[in-house]
Structure 1
């Protein structure tokens, strides 16, 4: 049976093109700002680590925000994380980043313009037949403004994938601030500014990634409706349907 999703969640032509192009090395994702002659090129797709999700329930959210930290330190309840409504197969899944480069000059100095185009949790190697916005638990697409997409916010431009069943333990290291200073996190630093927090009692992980002001979560569906990939785009790319 061929999958047919909710048309209100379906990615439009521009978002579909971006999601497919961002993970195709050598492709062009537009041009450098104020320099239409210089392309932004996808330089590669890097697997930065793996993520254990034993519960099959996935959080895609900021690992913390300023209000949550304030409430956490005072013993007050914090907001629930943005858990996706869709379930994924329990197990270990690769976390991948699509990198772009768009060289530019600023005050006479040259920069390589390397940026994260999108971050992907690869669930399977099956082909993606279509993309749709990923709803969170309790979210209603009918309540969004026309053209709006469900998304998460990120006060500090950091998002994460995490096992929902171990969220309390996994997110705790991001909420500990003493005398106005963040406590060091035993996170096992990863390349490219990512972090990985583990909870061995649950055999579960949290992995952070860059998310400028938050991001839109996209589900890559197979022909039968299974989820092959979960991708986060942010900034302009995340806002376009």
Structure 2
């Protein structure tokens, strides 16, 4: 039986085009800001690392929020992370970044305009036939407004994929402060300014990625409705905060 998605979280034509184009090297994702003659080109897809999600429960959120740092230092409760309502099979998955380039000039200086167009967690290699917004466990689909896009926020323009069952341990390195300043983290440095934190006691990981002010989570569904990809976008055309 083929999957028939719910129209409320479904990606519209513009979002669908972006999600499919962002991971197609050589395609154009519009033009450089204030320069309609220079295209923004998808230059490649980079495999950043693999991530272990043994619980099958996935968090897609900022690894920390500035307004929670003081509470954490004092041992007070912090708000729960944005865990996705959808479950994926426990396992190890690829994390990939779609890179674009749009050269531009600013005050006489030339820049290559390399940027992250989207970040993808590859759940399977099955073809995606439709996209929908990835709702969190606390999101109410019945309250969605037409065209609304729910996004997680990020004070430092950083998002992450992480196993929900190991969230507290995986995010502890991001919460270390001395005299109000962050201390160096015990994390693995990855391409694209990403980081990987591991919790070997649970065989679980957290992987960070660039997310301008946060991002919108999208689920790529197969013809049977299974999730094949989970993609985060930050600045796609027409996104609403």
Q: What CA distance in whole angstroms lies between the structure 1 residues aligned with 2:131 and 2:144? A: 18
Superimposed CA distance per residue, residues 81-112 of structure 1 (whole angstroms, 9 cap, x where no aligned partner): 00000000111000000000000001111100
Uncovered stretches (5+) of structure 2, i.e. residues with no partner: none
* Preserved CA contact (<8 Å) 1:128 1:222: yes
Shift in CA distance, 143/219, structure 1 to aligned 2, threshold 3 Å: same
Alignment of 1:159-238 (within 5 A): 159-237=159-237
* Counterpart secondary structure, 2:189: coil
* Counterpart secondary structure, 2:119: strand
Aligned residue-pair number? 241
* Preserved CA contact (<8 Å) 1:152 1:215: yes
* Preserved CA contact (<8 Å) 2:60 2:159: yes
What displacement does 1:190 show? 0.6
Q: What CA distance in whole angstroms lies between the structure 2 residues aligned with 1:131 and 1:43? A: 23
Q: Does 1:71 align with 2:76?
A: no
Q: Which residue in the other structure is 2:7 paired with?
A: 7
- TM-score for both structures, normalised by structure 1: 0.98
Q: Which residue in the other structure is 1:136 paired with?
A: 136
Q: Does 1:147 align with 2:147?
A: yes
Q: What CA distance in whole angstroms lies between the structure 2 residues aligned with 1:112 and 1:18? A: 21
Q: What CA distance in whole angstroms lies between the structure 2 residues aligned with 1:8 and 1:182? A: 41
* Counterpart secondary structure, 1:20: helix
What displacement does 1:180 show? 1.6
What displacement does 1:146 show? 3.1
* Preserved CA contact (<8 Å) 2:8 2:146: no
Q: Which residue in the other structure is 1:60 paired with?
A: 60
Q: Which residue in the other structure is 1:121 paired with?
A: 121
RMSD: 1.2
Q: What CA distance in whole angstroms lies between the structure 1 residues aligned with 2:239 and 2:79? A: 24
What displacement does 1:141 show? 2.1
* Preserved CA contact (<8 Å) 2:18 2:236: no
Q: What CA distance in whole angstroms lies between the structure 2 residues aligned with 1:71 and 1:80? A: 13
Q: What CA distance in whole angstroms lies between the structure 2 residues aligned with 1:213 and 1:196? A: 20
* Counterpart secondary structure, 1:84: strand
Report the more deviating stretch, 172-181 or 6-15: 172-181
Superimposed CA distance per residue, residues 7-31 of structure 1 (whole angstroms, 9 cap, x where no aligned partner): 0010000000000000000000000
* Preserved CA contact (<8 Å) 1:15 1:240: no
Alignment of 1:11-22 (within 5 A): 11-22=11-22
What displacement does 1:240 show? 5.9
Uncovered stretches (5+) of structure 1, i.e. residues with no partner: none
What displacement does 1:4 show? 0.8
Superimposed CA distance per residue, residues 113-172 of structure 1 (whole angstroms, 9 cap, x where no aligned partner): 000000000000000010000010021122233321121011110000000000000011
* Counterpart secondary structure, 2:87: coil
